[in-house]
Amino acid sequence: MPLFGTDGVRGLANGPLTADLALSLAQATAVVLGQGRSAEARRASGKRLTAVVARDPRVSGEFLSAAVEAGLASSGVDVFDAGVLPTPAAAFLIADIDADFGVMVSASHNPAPDNGIKIFARGGVKLPDVVEQRIEHAMSGPKLQPTGAAVGRIRRFADAEDRYVVHLLGSLPHRLDGIHVVLDCANGAASGVSPETFRDAGARVTVIGADPDGWNINDGVGSTHLDKLAEAVLAHGADIGIAHDGDADRCLAVDSAGGIVDGDQIMAILAVSMKSRGALVDDTLVTTVMSNLGLHRAMAERGIHVETTAVGDRYVLERMNEGGYSLGGEQSGHVIMSEFATTGDGLLTGLHLVAEMARTGQSIAELASVMTVYPQVLINVTGVDRERVGDEIVQDAVARASAELGLSGRVLLRPSGTEQLVRVMVEATSEGDAQRHADALAGVVRDRLAL
């Protein structure tokens, strides 16, 4: 099984993801990412390679980041230890100090016992598959073993947080004065920096989920558990609630009545705003095949073209880079604003969302009404041969359901990339129609593709 998954290397800390593995992975990263033209030029001028390392606050991040830093320094790389910061902060800092690469130790929205290692190339960009494969291969090959003055140094990146905050504040088109925001930091990497930044931008801030103890990250709080945020918004009479996940690369919202504003609605709000300000490149939004039909219709009504990709923020980012587009993301709250970030940034997204409220004087519910959310039913059909999803009878069933729904719905069959599983997704104007078609299609998939 490949070491790298869809977002770096992830697993149970001290299970498959050991300190030895982290050290070896860091050493291999130094070998592979130290071979580029810019890295060679740096060495030719007598300078060592540099890397930024950051982590979220889960307890295993302490020993894993230490192992990563040891692996890098032992390979002749100077390390800037940024401590506990969001993933998008690490990506920004790599570009900001012109480091050769960087590493983020985090398992994002996963529970505390898990952890992960994400590697970013120069400029703070995610690695393509082929480079990840080269790093994995290099783990069994020769390592760099400098001695004496050639070994790397490990230094505390003292102004890392300040640099990131200044960057976020500088991106805002409007201050947040007069708006009461409840922030749920998921007891994660945003616990310190997000409240500080929203307050500096002028918002009145109430904070929950910002007391990380190493074990409580994502535990009943954050973007995967919005009930407590909704309760807090109602209890404090706030205008909006913003939820991050453990490493703060996501943002979801709650309106003043406790209603959820998902990633599709957030993208719709930002796309309309950016188009009105001439900031939406080619009037195009990039999102995945899982985005709601309501988003597509709302954008079409406002002259905004929607490009769709496979599921995963890396595929959204690839398409954005290919077309030079400025906005993209996923329903889950990964939103990429490429003018200011190279990856999804939950703080950046939340700040710009609240800034649009301040700019227009509208509530988040009023802004979100730009799109109608169609009922969406998703059924995971397990124990089936995902390779045979093109079966004629299955496809005939899809065609019949699509024809019956017409322009008022949508059907999507998506085989898993890692499991013998097919995902059946149906959207319709009513929950009942969506559920009926989804159940019927799931039955056909189960009968025809059973292993």
* pLDDT tens, residue order, the chain (451 aa): 789 987 899 999 999 999 999 999 999 999 999 886 666 677 667 788 999 999 999 999 999 999 999 999 999 999 999 999 999 999 999 999 999 999 999 999 999 999 999 999 999 999 988 999 999 999 999 999 999 999 999 999 999 999 999 999 999 999 999 999 999 999 999 999 999 999 999 999 999 999 999 999 999 999 999 999 999 999 999 999 999 999 999 999 999 999 999 999 999 999 999 999 999 999 999 999 999 999 999 999 999 999 999 888 889 999 999 999 999 999 999 999 999 999 999 999 999 999 999 999 999 999 999 999 999 999 999 999 989 999 999 999 999 999 999 888 999 998 887 688 999 999 998 999 999 999 999 999 999 999 8
CA 422 vs CA 395, 445, 446: distances in Å? 13, 8, 9
Amino acid 390: pLDDT: 92
Per CATH, 9-158 and 376-449 having the same topology is answered no
Q: Which two tokens stand for residue 14?
A: 């001290």
Q: Are 195 and 207 in contact (CB under 8 A)?
A: yes
Instruction: Flag whether 433 is marked binding.
Output: no
78 marked as binding residue: no
pTM of the model as a whole = 0.92
In the prediction, which pLDDT does 45 show? 72
The ranges assigned to domains in the chain are 9-158, 163-368, 376-449
Consult the annotation and say whether 326 binds a ligand: no
What does the pLDDT read at residue 180? 98
SS3 298: helix
- Residue among 120, 105, 4, 103 at smallest CA distance from 64: 105
Helices and strands (H, E) in the chain, number of each type: 15, 19
For residue 182, give the 3-state DSSP assignment.
Answer: strand
Residue with tokens 């945020």: 229
The architecture that CATH gives domain 376-449 is 2-Layer Sandwich (3.30)
7 is in an annotated binding site: no
Confirm if 90 and 82 have CB atoms less than 8 A apart. yes
Q: Say what the pLDDT of residue 43 is.
A: 66
**9-158 in CATH: which number?**
3.40.120.10
Catalytic residue among 65, 74, 75, 108: 108
CA distance 238 to 342: 31
108 is catalytic: yes
* Phi, psi at 414, each rounded to 5°: -135, 110
- CATH match of 163-368 with 3.40.50.300: no
